[in-house]
Structure formats: structure tokens, C-alpha cells
Amino acid sequence: MSRDAPRPLEVTLLASVFVVAACGLVYELAAGALASYLLGDSVLQFSTVIGSYLFAMGVGSWMSRFFDRQLPAHFLRIELLVALAGGFLPALLFMAHAYAPGAFRALLYGMVGIVGILVGLEIPLVMRILKREVALKNLVSQVLTFDYLGALAVSVAFPIVLVPHLGLIRTGLLFGLLNAAVALWALWVFRFELRRFAAHAVACGLTLAVLAAGFVQADAVTSLAEDKFYQDRIVLAATSPYQRVVVTQGRTGAKLFLNGNLQFAERDEYRYHEALVHPAMAAFGAPRRVAVLGGGDGMAVREVLKYPSVESVTLVELDPNMTRLFAQDPAMVRLNGGSLSSPKLTIVNADAFQWLQGSVGVERSAQVKGGARRAGDTEQSVLPPALLDTFDVIIVDFPDPTNFSIGKLYTNSFYALLAERLSASGYAVIQTTSPLVARQSYWTVATTIESVGLTATPYHANVPSFGEWGYLLASRRPWRMPTALPEGLRFLTPQTLPLLFDFPKDMARVPAEVNRLSNQVLVITYEQEWGKVLP
């Protein structure tokens, strides 16, 4: 047999490198994802978590020089420690955020450091064990090849397969089990070299049992943490590649949370959505074509459909999980009045920025039983800019700019695209955070809208769940106070509507920069202003 042919031990060691690399990256991604979910500002959280993790790996690599003898035994023990620390990392962080939020950051970076050091020890030890089987000239290239392949596999699977189907807690525990399986394999392969085989075997068995029990009970752990965090009973919870969606039910009704941030409360959502929709719709007169960007819960669409003149509504929502949930769940359908099943509605599950650019064109939705449209029942076509639809009213209902991926939807680049899709006499309305709590942020959006040649008309409403909340009307013509509103509104009347446009001194306009893609000043300002009032 040729010496160039890989030996069985060499193959299995390199396979373990693949698994080890995959597990290490999963723990890093899980920590970054959890930090961005729970602390906001995904760019900052991922940057600091990845930087801390890589530094810790460097420390671990440096420490490997002190391991001289019994390398297989050291490798086995480290695999078991990585399995436990990395596998339980998401669960422990979820629990800490719910029960000890003040300690969350310290625990986050502490665990990232511990897991990073342990992962940093793994590859050097494997390379030194492999030196007995592989020629030096091939050693580094083979180890790094399998290391990078493992990282590639996980980087693709993590957002597409693992998190949507298993959730963060089960994903961590699954890869903890894989690390423990590598330890079990090392136990068998090096059984004649291990001085305390029985003790190592017991440790492997206990680690596998603990991780398996955690995997089975992952839903209970998630519920325990989220029930504490959200206070009210959780009735719906789902994780998508984009966000964590949680709906709770309590004495005051249902509440929707995205990544832990309140989006609406049943008891007063009518105030928010009536204020969002009707000043623009009623001022236009008889709008026929309407677009809603964001607002996958269907509440804004519900208000839009109160106008008989409306012929078509296009709802652009990034997360198909949202539109599916609020179109099919009976409790959610009751809240939005079945608006997502309207025959006038077309649902586009796409990034709003790309949709405005024409990167995602008109969606021709297939009818299904009950009139509801599903994300998979569509055909998309890309149209040239000259043929893109324009709208009489565009309602922009995005989450607040807590990170740069959302912040791009508040930039002058976005509003320039918005202006192109607005009819000559049309109105756009943008939900724009609190002009009381985040005064500078609010007027930054107004300045940004005006920078693209649109008029920005500010107004605000009191929504008890949020406090004073702000909106901005954008148009080419001056906004006109409507003389009539649809029947059946619970909050707005023609007499009280003018009061929304009156700004007291503590919410009056202040100088502000234009929010651009190149600076994203709004995200920084927003974080500073809300950070002063949030624990």
C-alpha cells in the first residue's frame, strides 16, 4: 500500500477537525446572534463578540504549548469541556437575560472567553497528535482545509437550517453533543494510551447524558426564560432567519414582541395604527393603490381596507413567518380583522429596500382557500424602473432603527427610492420613534426626508404602551387637513386630528444631520437617546 494513501486514524482525526471547527463557529454565531437579539445593534454585538472570541482563541492556542504529555487525554477533556460550555451557552444566556439582566453582558463575554480559549486549544493539540501520522509538509494544509470546510458548512447551515428549525438553544446543545461524540471517539481510538480509561469513559457518558437531557428539555428552558422576561403567558413563539417572534396573552390582551422589543399591545394598538394610516389616507381623498412596507401583522392593512376606494394593497414584509402567522392563526386573524386574506392584497416577502429598487418586482399571488396568500404561492418578476408601480399612499411601518440593517431603511437613499414610487399627489407616512424620548432621532428622520426633496410634516400621538409616539408625512405637495374620516374609528375624529400636529416645546424641532448609508448617524443617536431611559 502506498504511503501517500491516508491511514484510517489520519482520516478520522481530520474528520474530527471538521466537526471541531463547525462546533466552534456555531458557538461564536450563537453568542453573536443572542447578543444582537437581546441587546440590539447587531453590527456592534457581532463585532465585539467575534473580536473577543478570536482573542480568546489566540490565548488558547498560546496555552497549548504547556501541554506536553498525554495529548490524547488532554484533547478528550477539552472536548468535553467545550461540549458543556458551548452546548449550554445559549440556554445560560437566555436564562441570565430573564433572571439577572444586569449580569448578562459579563456572562456573555465570560462564556465567549471560556469557549474561545477551549476551542483555541483544540486545533493545536490535534495537529500535534497528527504529527505522528502525517508528514509535516502536509499537516498544516490538511488541518486548515478541514477547519475551513467545517466553518463553511456551519456558516451556511446556521441561518438557513439550524436556527429556523431547531432554535438557538437546541442548536447549541446539538453541537455540544457533536463535541462530546468527538471525545467519545477519542476515548475509543486512544484507549490504550489513556491512563484512567474508566474515569474518562464515565465523564463522556455523563456529558452525553446531560447534553441529551438538555436537548430534550430545550422547549421547557426557553419557556422558563421567556415567561419570566415577558411576564404574560406566551401563546405563540417562532424563530426565523430574521428575528424571534413572540406573542403573549395577559389581562390586557395580546402583545407582539420581535427580538424582545414590543411591537404592539392589543389594548391600545388601535391608537398607533389609526394615527399611522388615516392622516395620509384621508388627506389623499380616494386612494386606489396603497403600499405597506413592514407591518406584517396586518394591522395597518386592516385600517387601509376601511377605504372603499382602495383597489389594491401591496404588503412588503421581509419575514414570511410573520405574514404566515398573522394570516393563519385564528387569534391573530381576529386582531387584524382577516386583512391578510383580502382579495385586494398582494404579499411580497422581500427586503423593502430591494423591492423599491425594483430588484424584487411585482408578485402575482395565487389564490388559496379562504383568500389567504402564502409566501410559497407566488411568482416574482423583475421590472425595469420605468415600469415600476407607483402608489397613492405608502405606509412605512418598520421597527425602530436599533441596528444598521434596519437603519438603512431610514436613510436618504431609501427615501429617494420611496419618492420614485410615490404618485405625484401621493403621501407617504413613516413611523418615527418617540419625539419626546428620542427627540434628536425623530428630527434626524425629518431632515433626511427633506434632503431628497420631499416635504416632511410631523405629528405625534399618545399610545400608552409606548408613550408619545411620532410619525412623519412625506409628500411633494403640502399636506392638507382632511375633513372626514372613515366610520368606526376608536381614536381619531376630524375634531381631534389637528391636535396631533401641535408640538409642545420639549418636542419642538432641533437641528439634525442627514442619515446616510455611509454614516448611519441615526442608529448611533437612537442608541444614545434610548439608552438613557432603558435599564
Q: Would you please indicate which residues are annotated as catalytic (active-site) residues? A: 397
Cα separation of 254 and 331, whole Å? Answer: 9
Task: Please name the residues in contact with 13: beta carbons below 8 A apart, sequence gap of 6 or more.
Answer: 126, 129, 130, 133
Interior angle at CA 125, CA 120 and CA 131, nearest 5: 140
Nearest CA to 349 out of 316, 302, 327 is that of 316
Cα separation of 443 and 529, whole Å? Answer: 13
Cα separation of 156 and 23, whole Å? Answer: 13
| SS3 track for 350-382 | CCHHHHHHCCCCCEEECCCHHHCCCCCCEEECC
Cα separation of 463 and 457, whole Å? Answer: 19
DSSP for 276-326 reads HHHHHHHHHSS--EEEEEE-TTSHHHHHHTT-TT--EEEEE-S-HHHHHHH
> What Å distances lie between residue 61 and 53, 126, 147, CA to CA?
12, 12, 15
> What does the block give as the cell for 293?
412596507
Helices (H), 421-467: 439-450
Cα separation of 136 and 140, whole Å? Answer: 7
Amino acid present at 238: A
Number of DSSP helices (H) and strands (E) in the chain, helices first:
18, 13
Question: What count of residues does the chain have?
Answer: 535
Interior angle at CA 465, CA 460 and CA 468, nearest 5: 25
Helix (H) or strand (E) holding 193: none
Cα separation of 276 and 499, whole Å? Answer: 15
Backbone angles phi, psi at 403, to 5 degrees: -150, 175
Q: Burial code of 61-74, b = ≥16 C-beta within 10 A, e = fewer?
A: beebeebeeebbbb
Backbone angles phi, psi at 294, to 5 degrees: 80, -160
